[in-house]
């Protein structure tokens, strides 16, 4: 039996575990799931064969090392900042490692040592990053293979609520970590390149600079820029590309509405609210507005945001019970972002029978024989329910597929890598198609930079 150690039993592990357990008998696998809360692991495994749940606190060195030492391969589903401790132990005990997280500087620094030991630490093999890399490189390599030169690449991904479960005015529910949604775009300026010009969008302008596109069968969407679209220029071999833009997908109208919270300061995570535990939702809103001895909170907010009473923006705010004086934040020493997250979780958590949706869209512009061409590529994955979500499917399946192919020596790369080479993306994408994760690619007239669609 070969042992795979899965560290972390959070929301995104449902499909990953399902995949590994389905393969366990035929592939002679034993799956060990370690979590600081062993009940989380037990609930996921439910006494299935070929698996074991263990209590694993990664901050307890002996506990962590013992678990890693016994494994043949480690999949870390921990928050990204904790991967490095696992990675060091994997290096010590010569174990291959797989994560869905971005490569940190600390992880990258291990590359030579990992290569020297003939190991692979495969990162960014989830959905975004992950499926986005693989599906993009497949088309880019195909364009290059026929002699084309890339001049434009745009890529967008979003975790959304499926149409049949879309029941609020925001057309949105949390399908991933709510905190990541609330603080999205903070900590730096969005950077991209458009028609050869470097462009920068500061956080306070981010949600009013959007691009629009349509995906057949699912309607219209908008995308706002990711923090750094330029980091993959060299990785993708696009150093001389004229347009490179990566972003996050939402339904049209979300960004404009979210911008209200940004302008009010409610997404700020840098200071603590006084007596936040006892603060009402209404008091929270009022704390960001000018003082008035006569005007109600509602009136002050409409004046501040310059919205009318019959504006859909106003209806969206009302829908969240923001002016309720009886509901409490209930979090001690909360930042504004944490307080806002609490308010949103009242309305945006998935119900048991809700379905989520992952939407991915790529646009490739290239020249061939003196003419400009464009390929649009899109993928939509739908979840089954609150547990088996599209998010967990598109994060977990690439992880599981890649882990198994590493164990079977079908993936033989070494070092700290991401899935941008053909020997990795080709077999993983092929396997994903068996689970309904497929891309629709079509040649369309070259549109290039459209100043009516994207801020330039």
pLDDT digits (tens, 9 = 90+) for 120-140: 999 999 999 999 999 999 999
Mean pLDDT value of segment 26-43: 92
**Calpha distance 97→73 (Å, rounded):** 6
CATH classification of the domain holding 244: 3.30.360.10
**In a domain? residue 421:** no
Asked if pLDDT for residue 304 goes beyond 60, the answer is yes
CATH classification of the domain holding 66: 3.40.50.720
Last residue of a domain, one of 332, 348, 364: 348
Same domain, 245 and 320: no
Same domain, 222 and 316: no
According to DSSP, residue 321 is labeled T
Same domain, 366 and 228: yes
Give the pLDDT band of residue 450 (cuts 50, 70, 90).
low
Same domain, 250 and 378: yes
8 Å CB contact between 358 and 394 = yes
Give the pLDDT band of residue 176 (cuts 50, 70, 90).
confident
What is the domain count for the chain? Answer: 3
Least reliable range by pLDDT among 4-13, 207-216, 409-418: 4-13
Q: Is the pTM of this model over 0.75?
A: yes
Mean pLDDT value of segment 36-42: 88
Tokens of 240: 């001389």
**Calpha distance 303→315 (Å, rounded):** 15
Same domain, 85 and 167: no
Asked if pLDDT for residue 30 goes beyond 50, the answer is yes
Q: What is the pLDDT of residue 14?
A: 87
Same domain, 171 and 233: yes
**In a domain? residue 159:** yes
Using CB atoms within 10 A of its CB, is residue 387 exposed (0-12), middle (13-18) or buried (19+)? middle
Would you call 89 helix, strand, or coil by DSSP?
A: helix
Percent of the chain with pLDDT over 70: 98
Last residue of a domain, one of 73, 99, 122: 122
Closest CA to 415 of 106, 133, 96, 126: 96
Give the HSE-up count for residue 416: Cα atoms under 13 Å, Cβ half-sphere.
Answer: 19
Q: What is the pLDDT of residue 452?
A: 45
What is the residue whose two structure tokens read 């972390």? 8
Last residue of a domain, one of 67, 89, 122: 122
Give the pLDDT band of residue 411 (cuts 50, 70, 90).
very high
**Calpha distance 70→241 (Å, rounded):** 46
Q: What is the pLDDT of residue 456?
A: 36
**Calpha distance 334→271 (Å, rounded):** 8
Q: What is the pLDDT of residue 454?
A: 42
Closest CA to 89 of 18, 11, 17, 34: 34
**Calpha distance 240→272 (Å, rounded):** 45
How big is the CA angle at 177 (ends 173 and 179), to the nearest 5 degrees? 95
Per the omega criterion (within 30 degrees of 0), is the bond before 129 cis? Answer: yes
Asked if pLDDT for residue 451 goes beyond 70, the answer is no
**In a domain? residue 450:** no
Same domain, 154 and 87: no
**Calpha distance 73→95 (Å, rounded):** 6
Percent of the chain with pLDDT over 90: 90
In the β-sheet with 73-76, what is the strand arrangement from edge to edge? 51-55, 29-35, 2-7, 73-76, 96-99, 120-122, 415-417
**In a domain? residue 317:** yes
Give the pLDDT band of residue 11 (cuts 50, 70, 90).
confident
Same domain, 7 and 58: yes
**In a domain? residue 263:** no
Domain that holds residue 376: 131-257+352-388+436-444
Residue 246: what are its φ and ψ, rounded to 5°?
A: -120, 140
**In a domain? residue 226:** yes
Same domain, 362 and 343: no
Q: What is the pLDDT of residue 129?
A: 93
According to DSSP, residue 8 is labeled -
Q: What is the pLDDT of residue 455?
A: 36
Same domain, 369 and 253: yes
Asked if pLDDT for residue 297 goes beyond 50, the answer is yes
The pLDDT tens digits for 348-360 are 999 999 999 999 9
Average pLDDT, whole number, for the chain? 95
Same domain, 182 and 322: no
Give the pLDDT band of residue 440 (cuts 50, 70, 90).
very high
Mean pLDDT value of segment 207-233: 94
Would you call 35 helix, strand, or coil by DSSP?
A: strand
Give the pLDDT band of residue 448 (cuts 50, 70, 90).
confident
| All residues at 6 or more sequence positions from 113 whose CB lies less than 8 Å from its CB, including other chains | 91
Kind and range of the H or E element at 338? helix 336-348
Q: What is the pLDDT of residue 43?
A: 85
Same domain, 357 and 343: no
Closest CA to 248 of 258, 238, 236: 258
- Per DSSP, helices labelled H in 245-311 are 254-264, 281-286, 297-305
The pLDDT tens digits for 92-116 are 999 999 999 999 999 999 999 999 9
């Amino acid at each position: 039996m070969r042992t795979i150690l899965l560290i972390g039993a959070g929301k995104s592990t449902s499909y990953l575990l399902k995949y590994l357990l389905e393969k366990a008998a035929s592939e002679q696998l034993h799956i060990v799931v370690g979590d600081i809360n062993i009940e989380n692991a037990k609930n996921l495994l439910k006494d299935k064969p070929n698996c074991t749940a263990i209590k694993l606190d990664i901050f307890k060195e002996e506990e962590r090392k013992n678990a890693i030492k016994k494994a043949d391969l480690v999949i870390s589903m921990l928050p990204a900042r904790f991967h490095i401790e696992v990675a060091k132990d994997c290096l010590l005990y010569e174990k291959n490692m797989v994560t869905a997280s971005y490569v940190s500087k600390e992880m990258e620094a291990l590359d030579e040592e990992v290569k020297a030991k003939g190991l692979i630490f495969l990162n960014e093999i989830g959905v975004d990053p992950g499926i986005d890399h693989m599906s993009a490189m497949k088309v880019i390599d195909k364009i290059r293979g026929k002699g084309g030169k890339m001049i434009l690449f745009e890529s967008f991904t979003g975790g959304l609520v499926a149409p049949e479960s879309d029941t609020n005015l925001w057309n949105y529910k949390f399908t991933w970590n709510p905190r990541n949604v609330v603080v999205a775009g903070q900590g730096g300026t969005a950077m991209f390149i458009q028609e050869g010009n470097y462009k920068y969008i500061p956080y306070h302008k981010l949600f009013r600079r959007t691009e629009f596109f349509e995906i057949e069968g699912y309607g219209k969407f908008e995308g706002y820029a990711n923090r750094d679209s330029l980091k993959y220029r060299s990785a993708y071999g696009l150093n001389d590309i004229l347009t490179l833009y990566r972003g996050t997908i939402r339904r049209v109208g979300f960004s404009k509405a979210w911008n209200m919270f940004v302008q009010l300061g409610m997404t700020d995570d840098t200071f603590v609210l006084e007596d936040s535990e006892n603060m009402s939702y209404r008091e929270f809103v009022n704390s960001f507005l000018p003082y008035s001895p006569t005007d109600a909170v509602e009136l002050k907010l409409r004046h501040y945001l310059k919205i009318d009473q019959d504006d859909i923006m106003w209806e969206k705010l009302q829908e969240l019970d923001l002016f309720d004086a009886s509901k409490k934040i209930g979090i001690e020493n909360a930042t504004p972002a944490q307080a806002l997250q609490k308010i949103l979780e009242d309305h945006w958590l998935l119900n048991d029978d809700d379905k989520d949706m992952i939407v991915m869209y790529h646009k490739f512009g290239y020249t061939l024989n003196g003419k400009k061409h464009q390929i649009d590529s899109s993928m939509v994955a739908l979840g089954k329910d609150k547990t088996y979500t599209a998010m967990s499917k598109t994060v977990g399946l690439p992880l599981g597929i890649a882990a198994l192919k590493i164990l079977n020596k079908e993936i033989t790369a070494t070092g700290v890598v991401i899935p941008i080479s053909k020997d990795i993306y080709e077999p993983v994408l092929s396997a994903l198609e068996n689970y309904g994760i497929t891309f629709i690619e079509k040649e369309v007239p070259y549109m290039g930079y459209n100043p009516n669609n994207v801020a330039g």
